[in-house]
Chain A
């Protein structure tokens, strides 16, 4: 009896909301196989990975701290991906923003600069990230170079640039030769929200950004032109939307938000510049954007899920001596599962009667 896969044109909202759930279920199955293969009791491993971090207030704060850059970057990437522009270099834009903003912190270090320093740093973070993001946009618009590859190559360039700064001109002279800058002054640090723990004001900024992005993408002509440029570029051109402006716009937004995320991370949790300021947030945010179906509010939720893989990974590293790569396997599997589930809910398998071919 031949089976046939049919595409369904009209899918209920309920079926679409199933996608992330199916994806997470699939990831749990793969994770079980992986833990067994690594010789660990999967129930205990999942407990340490995904349940224990949710049981005390300190790790819950950590969860939000780690989700904060993911939701900012992921929201920016939603602009790009909706327009079918493939910025995969958010990690570099994150670094570029943090570098430009930190310059101000170091330039005002030890002076009696007022409380304007932090807002100015955040603004510079946005500008730095946006400028770094506009490079691949320019190369695409002007020369037709693939933004996928150029944006990714610029990640390596940005990371090496940061490495040069913290080992060279920015190195703390009293830092025992460690490759790190001086600790920022108080006016250059993000205030903490609670007495204990590391939850900082950056999350409030992220929430405002998500609200604004939800409005822009869902309720404005700009959001519509982005959507149309991605789904029907010819129609967008006939409607008079300038394709180049969309490219510049979405790269500026996603680069700017990645830069803001980098600056918030440095001022909120690190407090100085060092050779590595991200455990791959710029790449994980791609998954956050996908898992969140390119919708800012859902990205907020998916960022928390992905942040859990970071926290769980750290816990498993300590208590089970599992390498941190387990986290990357989880993240990769999750993305694969989302992509597959997204297709599978749109199709249904039907039995078809044998039809004689003439």
Chain B
């Protein structure tokens, strides 16, 4: 019943769904490795989606749209950074505030565009390879966001574990007091990490509104920012596990759609709830197994230098 073409298309859509999650969670992973828990991912993502869509619609350029989305994500992340890093406010509350504000701003920016459509980002087809059965479409028929997300993943994985900058960033997250004593600008580094998180979340939003579902709808992120946060926990703060987690969740969210399509008599709402239930189950499983191992020791603790 499932022929190769359908299977290929399903696999390709799993990749697309996973890319949004991968981009957002990658940025959050870097922020958390530096010791800042930013619950504003959902807000930064939705602002990225709105600004990206508005810019692309106005200019006709998807690239400008994506750039604007990244900048918008960074701008909103700075609100969080000023609060949580520089004023040392409670990170949970600051992140929530960032998300609430982001949802509002995105709604304002997006409201003139409700009901419009864009031509989504084109697939970058590689002659010959895309036509391979089953895996051709999945590996070689994706849009630029997909390849960019994988490049970013490789860069983050390498940068965190193999470069001096990555070492300093991790030191800031593990033991900010010691890093400060060694002369590293803890709050500056945390700010940069939060900004990187904002950029990635903005890009994830752009992927959503420019490629994955090229239209604007209020609250179109539908909790993906929160799932991205959960994925960081699930990955035990390791970039390569993030890849596995994002694709697993991409698969859950796509397969439940296909099961809904088959109409097996299961209530559609139960299937729609699956990604959220799966997130809870994954969090519980990873917490039970690891008991918080892998979490940066300084995560969520504001750092105030003594002088």
Cβ–Cβ contact B279 & A161, under 8 A: no
Contact partner of B280 (CB less than 8 A), chosen from A38, A153, A339, is A153
Kindly state the separation between the CA atoms of A283 and B96 in the bound complex, as whole angstroms.
9
Contact partner of A149 (CB less than 8 A), chosen from B97, B98, B100, B233, is B233
Cβ–Cβ contact B87 & A336, under 8 A: no
Give A89 Cβ to nearest chain B Cβ, in Å: 11
Kindly state the separation between the CA atoms of A139 and B233 in the bound complex, as whole angstroms.
15
Cβ–Cβ contact B100 & A332, under 8 A: yes
Indicate whether B88 reaches chain A with its CB closer than 8 angstroms.
yes
Kindly state the separation between the CA atoms of A198 and B259 in the bound complex, as whole angstroms.
44
Interface of chain B residues 264 through 307 with chain A (CB within 8 A) = 267, 269-270, 272-273, 276-277, 279-280, 283-284, 287-288, 291-292, 304
User: Chain B residue with minimal CB distance to A88?
Assistant: B96
Indicate whether B10 reaches chain A with its CB closer than 8 angstroms.
no
Cβ–Cβ contact B291 & A161, under 8 A: no
Interface of chain A residues 165 through 211 with chain B (CB within 8 A) = 167-168
Interface of chain A residues 27 through 44 with chain B (CB within 8 A) = 34, 38
Indicate whether B27 reaches chain A with its CB closer than 8 angstroms.
no
Give A346 Cβ to nearest chain B Cβ, in Å: 10
User: Chain B residue with minimal CB distance to A157?
Assistant: B273
Give A80 Cβ to nearest chain B Cβ, in Å: 11
User: Chain B residue with minimal CB distance to A339?
Assistant: B89
Cβ–Cβ contact B269 & A149, under 8 A: no
Contact partner of A156 (CB less than 8 A), chosen from B43, B96, B104, B223, is B223
Cβ–Cβ contact A283 & B270, under 8 A: no
Interface of chain B residues 236 through 287 with chain A (CB within 8 A) = 267, 269-270, 272-273, 276-277, 279-280, 283-284, 287
* Chain A interface residue count, Cβ-Cβ cutoff 8 angstroms: 46
Indicate whether A227 reaches chain B with its CB closer than 8 angstroms.
no
Indicate whether A148 reaches chain B with its CB closer than 8 angstroms.
yes
Indicate whether A154 reaches chain B with its CB closer than 8 angstroms.
yes
Interface of chain A residues 101 through 155 with chain B (CB within 8 A) = 139, 143-146, 148-150, 152-154
Residues of chain A within 8 A of B269, CB atoms compared? 160-161, 163-164, 167
Residues of chain B within 8 A of A283, CB atoms compared? 100
Cβ–Cβ contact B283 & A160, under 8 A: no
Cβ–Cβ contact A342 & B89, under 8 A: yes
Interface of chain A residues 300 through 349 with chain B (CB within 8 A) = 323-333, 335-336, 339-340, 342-344
Cβ–Cβ contact A335 & B100, under 8 A: yes
Interface residues on B, range: 35 or more
Indicate whether A213 reaches chain B with its CB closer than 8 angstroms.
no
As a 0/1 sequence over residues 73 to 91 of chain B, the CB contacts with chain A under 8 angstroms (1 = contact) are 0000001001100011110
Residues of chain B within 8 A of A290, CB atoms compared? 93
User: Chain A residue with minimal CB distance to B282?
Assistant: A145
Cβ–Cβ contact B280 & A150, under 8 A: yes
Give B16 Cβ to nearest chain A Cβ, in Å: 21
Indicate whether A86 reaches chain B with its CB closer than 8 angstroms.
yes
Residues of chain A within 8 A of B12, CB atoms compared? none
Indicate whether B71 reaches chain A with its CB closer than 8 angstroms.
no
Cβ–Cβ contact B101 & A333, under 8 A: yes
Indicate whether A286 reaches chain B with its CB closer than 8 angstroms.
yes
User: Chain A residue with minimal CB distance to B286?
Assistant: A145
User: Chain A residue with minimal CB distance to B102?
Assistant: A332
Cβ–Cβ contact A323 & B92, under 8 A: no
User: Chain B residue with minimal CB distance to A289?
Assistant: B93
Residues of chain A within 8 A of B89, CB atoms compared? 339-340, 342-343
Cβ–Cβ contact B273 & A160, under 8 A: yes
Indicate whether B105 reaches chain A with its CB closer than 8 angstroms.
yes
Contact partner of A144 (CB less than 8 A), chosen from B83, B267, B287, is B287
Kindly state the separation between the CA atoms of A161 and B276 in the bound complex, as whole angstroms.
12
Kindly state the separation between the CA atoms of A148 and B94 in the bound complex, as whole angstroms.
13
As a 0/1 sequence over residues 7 to 41 of chain A, the CB contacts with chain B under 8 angstroms (1 = contact) are 10000000000000000000000000010001000
Residues of chain B within 8 A of A253, CB atoms compared? none
User: Chain B residue with minimal CB distance to A329?
Assistant: B104
User: Chain A residue with minimal CB distance to B218?
Assistant: A325
Residues of chain B within 8 A of A331, CB atoms compared? 100, 104
Cβ–Cβ contact B96 & A335, under 8 A: yes
Residues of chain A within 8 A of B102, CB atoms compared? 332
As a 0/1 sequence over residues 49 to 91 of chain A, the CB contacts with chain B under 8 angstroms (1 = contact) are 0000000000000000000000000000000000000101000
Kindly state the separation between the CA atoms of A309 and B109 in the bound complex, as whole angstroms.
19
Indicate whether A287 reaches chain B with its CB closer than 8 angstroms.
yes
Cβ–Cβ contact B100 & A153, under 8 A: no
Indicate whether B230 reaches chain A with its CB closer than 8 angstroms.
yes
Cβ–Cβ contact A146 & B233, under 8 A: yes
Kindly state the separation between the CA atoms of A208 and B233 in the bound complex, as whole angstroms.
41
Kindly state the separation between the CA atoms of A4 and B20 in the bound complex, as whole angstroms.
42
Interface centre among A86, A149, A324 (most CB of B within 10 A): A149
Kindly state the separation between the CA atoms of A38 and B108 in the bound complex, as whole angstroms.
9
9 A-B residue pairs with CB within 8 Å:
A143-B288, A160-B269, A323-B107, A325-B108, A326-B104, A332-B43, A336-B97, A339-B90, A340-B89
Residue numbers of A with Cβ under 8 A of B are: 7, 34, 38, 86, 88, 139, 143-146, 148-150, 152-154, 156-157, 160-161, 163-164, 167-168, 283, 286-287, 290, 323-333, 335-336, 339-340, 342-344
Apart from A324-B107, A325-B218, A332-B100, what 20 extra A-B contacts exist at CB < 8 Å?
A: A34-B108, A88-B96, A139-B283, A144-B287, A149-B230, A152-B226, A153-B230, A156-B273, A160-B272, A161-B273, A286-B93, A328-B100, A329-B101, A331-B104, A332-B97, A335-B101, A336-B94, A339-B87, A342-B89, A343-B89
